[in-house]
Amino acid sequence: MSLKERITEDMKAAMRAKDTERLGTIRLLTAAMKQKEVDERVVLDDALVVAIVDKLIKQRKDSIEAFTKADRMDLADKETAEMKVLQAYLPERLSADDVLAEVKTIVAALSTELGRPAGPGDMGKVMGAVKAQLSGKADMGAVSAAVKTALAG
C-alpha cells in the first residue's frame, strides 16, 4: 500500500470514528497533496508525499513557536496535535550519528572528486548531494548542522 493510499484509508477510518481533529489534519494533508498534483501535473509517489508532510510539519513547528511567544497556548496545543498526526506518515528517521556518518561519507567523496579537502565554501555542493540522498530520511535542519560540522573539521 502506498503512502497516499494509507492516508486515504486513515481519512476514512477517522470519518467512521468521528475523530474530527484527526480528520481535519488528514484533510489538510490530502488538500496539499491534491494541490501539488494539480499545480505540477504529477502523480505523487511516496517521496513527494513525504516532502509535503515534511513541509507541513515545518509549518506547524514555526506556528507553535509563534503561538508560544504570543502566549496562545490553546493554538500551540492545536498545532502540536496536528503535528503528531502528520508525523505518523513520515518514515523512520535516521539518528544524529547516522546522519553525521552519511554526511562524512558524502564529504569524503566530494573531496576526492574536487582533488582537495572540502571546506565551508562547498556547503552548497554538499547540501545538494546530501539532500538527494537523505531527503525524507532525516530532518534537514539536523542534516544542515551535520554538514557544517563535517566541513569545519
Task: Give the CATH number for residue 145.
Answer: 1.10.10.410
Average pLDDT over residues 81-93: 91
pTM exceeds 0.85, yes or no: no
Cross-strand pairs, 135: 138
Judge if 74 and 130 occupy the same domain. Answer: no
E strands, the chain, are: none
Q: Supply the pLDDT for residue 153.
A: 64
Query: From the DSSP assignment, how many helices (H) and strands (E) are in the chain?
Result: 7, 0
Summarize the confidence of residues 33-57 as an average pLDDT.
92
Rounded-to-integer distance, Cα 104 and Cα 100, Å: 6
> Which CATH number is 79's domain given?
1.10.1510.10
Q: Which residue has the higher pLDDT, 16 or 97?
A: 16
Domain of 103, in residue numbers: 96-152
Can you tell me the distance from the alpha carbon of 152 to that of 67, in angstroms, rounded to the nearest whole number?
A: 35
Judged by average pLDDT, the poorest of 1-5, 26-30, 82-86 is: 1-5
